[in-house]
Amino acid sequence: MTIQWYPGHMEKAKRQVTEQLKRVDAAVELVDARIPFSSRNPMLDNILQDKPRIVVLTKSDMADPDVSAQWLRFYEQQGAEALTLNALQSKGAKPVVDKAEKVTAPIFDKMKRKGIRPRAIRAMILGIPNVGKSTVINRLVGKKTAKTGDKPGITKAQQWLKVGNKMELLDTPGILWPKFEDQMVGYRLAATGAIKDERLDMEDIALYLTGLLKERYPSALMERYRLEELPADDRALFIEIGKKRGCLQAGGYVDEEQCAALILREFRDGKLGRLSLETPADHEEKKEPDDSSKSGGPSDINSRDEETGP
């Protein structure tokens, strides 16, 4: 299955980000701590160019802490400023503000030398859909300003928000990119909920997820679904989970649609524990050619919605 979702309003949001870039001192880029590589929009490198940037790994309470530590070391080696953030339990905005002050110091030193009066840091907050941006903003601002939800596409327009007296944030809608060159990126985005479920073959995504978790976190599957052993075949594992959780239809057959929805919901809700779907090592290895189109799986989903939404 080829996964793609790039509705028309994302192209509009991309243009708005480009237009507003000259008004900000830095960018705060949010990525999902469970998939820090797959949830980074590659278009941002071209859009932001040399604009100072902070990378914030959101939903860190749902990710494997050891893997998150690997990602922070990876970013540090790349010379990037990065931090993890648990939006529901974070101690306010200080960690992000501190990083923002660090990356924008050259800008404000230059302004000071020119005799320009100090002002708050102006930063643009960016991320893909459902990365937790609205929740992070509410934590930084200190009140419920942005709408939150577990579905992509909650934020539809740009707005300026004050973070104490040290920072002003320009909120922007979540933006994906037109084509996933590596289809595994699409699968990881789909598994974490960054792509609307209505555009996907949920059973295919759930099969991918259970196969990956069987390889990396077998004990999490065994404990959650009370399995004494894990079948070698991914589909057999999927069916066994359906039986254990009572996802049955007439005749005792597993309702695969219901089973897929259950697996994805429990993963997204953190019911299987703190899990990460990729490590820095995954993306340092040489990728094999993508032959997913030869798999004989479900028909392609290559959606470019014409909605222009606000």
Q: How many domains does the chain have?
A: 2
Q: Report the length, in residues, of the chain.
A: 310
Among 248, 309, 233, 245, which Cα is nearest to 272's?
245
In this prediction, residue 304 carries a pLDDT of 35
Looking at the domain assignment, is residue 52 inside a domain? yes
Extract the runs of DSSP E, i.e. beta strands, from the chain.
26-32, 53-58, 81-84, 121-127, 159-163, 167-171
Looking at the domain assignment, is residue 292 inside a domain? no
- Looking at the fold, whether 254 and 115 belong to one and the same domain comes out as no
For residue 264, give the CATH number of its domain.
1.10.1580.10
* Residue 62 contacts residue 86 (beta carbons within 8 Å): no
Q: Which residues of 106-138 are buried (b: 16+ CB within 10 A; e: fewer)?
A: eeeeeeeeeeeeeebbbbbbbbbbbbbbbbbbb
Sign of the torsion formed by the C-alpha atoms of 118, 120, 121 and 122: negative
- Looking at the fold, whether 63 and 153 belong to one and the same domain comes out as yes
Condensed to tens digits (0 to 9), the pLDDT of residues 106-155 reads 999 999 999 999 899 999 999 888 898 888 888 888 766 544 444 444 44
- Looking at the fold, whether 40 and 159 belong to one and the same domain comes out as yes
- The torsion defined by the Cα of 6, 11, 12 and 16, in degrees rounded to 10, comes to 130
Looking at the domain assignment, is residue 183 inside a domain? no
User: 121, 155, 171 — which closes off a domain?
Assistant: 171
Looking at the domain assignment, is residue 71 inside a domain? yes
- Looking at the fold, whether 16 and 81 belong to one and the same domain comes out as yes
Looking at the domain assignment, is residue 116 inside a domain? yes
Cα-to-chain-centroid distance, residue 12: 20
> Rounded to the nearest 5°, which phi and psi values hold at 125?
-100, 125
**Tens of pLDDT, residue by residue, the chain (310 residues):** 655 555 555 667 677 788 888 899 999 999 999 999 999 988 888 888 889 999 999 999 999 999 999 999 999 999 999 999 886 665 667 899 999 999 999 999 999 999 999 899 999 999 888 898 888 888 888 766 544 444 444 444 567 899 988 999 998 888 877 677 788 999 999 999 988 887 789 999 999 999 999 999 999 999 999 999 999 999 999 999 999 999 999 888 999 999 999 999 999 999 999 999 999 999 876 444 444 433 333 333 333 343 333 3
Looking at the domain assignment, is residue 243 inside a domain? yes
- Looking at the fold, whether 154 and 282 belong to one and the same domain comes out as no
Question: Which two three-digit tokens encode residue 254?
Answer: 């597993």
- Looking at the fold, whether 238 and 95 belong to one and the same domain comes out as no
- Looking at the fold, whether 22 and 165 belong to one and the same domain comes out as yes
- Looking at the fold, whether 59 and 166 belong to one and the same domain comes out as yes
Cβ atoms within 10 A of the Cβ of 51, count?
16
- Looking at the fold, whether 141 and 235 belong to one and the same domain comes out as no
- Looking at the fold, whether 141 and 71 belong to one and the same domain comes out as yes
User: Which residues are within 8 A (CB) of 80 and not within 5 positions of it... i.e. 6 or more apart?
Assistant: 53, 55
- Looking at the fold, whether 41 and 155 belong to one and the same domain comes out as yes
In this prediction, residue 10 carries a pLDDT of 61
Looking at the domain assignment, is residue 269 inside a domain? yes
- Looking at the fold, whether 46 and 105 belong to one and the same domain comes out as yes
Q: CA-to-CA distance for 67 and 48, rounded, in angstroms?
A: 27
Beta partners for residue 58, in sequence order: 32
Residue 240 belongs to what domain range?
201-287
Q: CA-to-CA distance for 209 and 67, rounded, in angstroms?
A: 17
